[in-house]
Structures are given as C-alpha cells and as structure tokens.
Amino acid sequence: MVAPLLPAAYVRDIADWQLLMTTAAQRGWPVPVVYAVGTGPAGGRAAALGRLRAAVSAGRHDALLMPLPGALGDAGQFMGLLALCTRMGVVVSFVPRGIRGP
C-alpha cells in the first residue's frame, strides 16, 4: 500500500492514541488527524464518530487507523463507518493492542 497523504485515527483513550501514532510512524504515514472520544463540544463516542464520518464524507481522509472493532462498542455504527469508508475509497486498518509494527 502506498502511504496515505491524509490519514485519520479514531481513539478512545491514551493507550489507543499511543498505539495508533506509533503504528502510523512505523508505516511511514504522516501524523493522522485524531478523532477522540471525550473531545470536542459533545465529547462522547457518538460525537467522535460523527466528526469522523463527516470528515470521511467530505473527502478529508484517505486512510483510517482504528483499534480492533470488538472493543469499539456499537457494531451498527462501525459497520456504517466501514461502509462509508469503502464508498469513499478510504483504507481502514485495524490495530490490535499489544501488537506494534507495520
């Protein structure tokens, strides 16, 4: 895969942030734009996913790093995000905790 130019990362906590930033760096990716639970005006999970979905819909990202989906919560919301990424040509890469590297 060619390194993306506009990556994003969805994080729930500092451990996710550290893992995804390290993974991006090891892959030679630019620093991803972070969509984090607990940030923004309405800091919940739905708000972070909404901001990410809006950015993907607007074509602002070409790749997305996420922790493994089993730990992310509502499967329906994430399936919708994955379908949107597929339609928009955004490559999604799941990164399990405890495993680092490309």
Q: Which domain holds residue 42?
A: 7-61+68-92
- Total domains present in the chain: 1
Within-domain flag for 98: no
Within-domain flag for 82: yes
Residues in the chain with pLDDT < 50?
100-102
Within-domain flag for 20: yes
Within-domain flag for 36: yes
| Per-residue confidence (pLDDT) for residue 29, from 0 to 100 | 96
Query: Which residue, 81, 67, 76, is CA-closest to 11?
Result: 67
CB atoms within 10 A of CB 66: 24
CA atoms of 75 and 50, how far apart (whole Å): 15
Within-domain flag for 51: yes
Within-domain flag for 45: yes
Enter the pTM of the model. 0.84
- Give 41's contacts (C-beta < 8 A, 6+ positions apart): 47
| Per-residue confidence (pLDDT) for residue 14, from 0 to 100 | 85
Q: Residue 100: CA atoms inside 13 Å, Cβ hemisphere, count?
A: 13
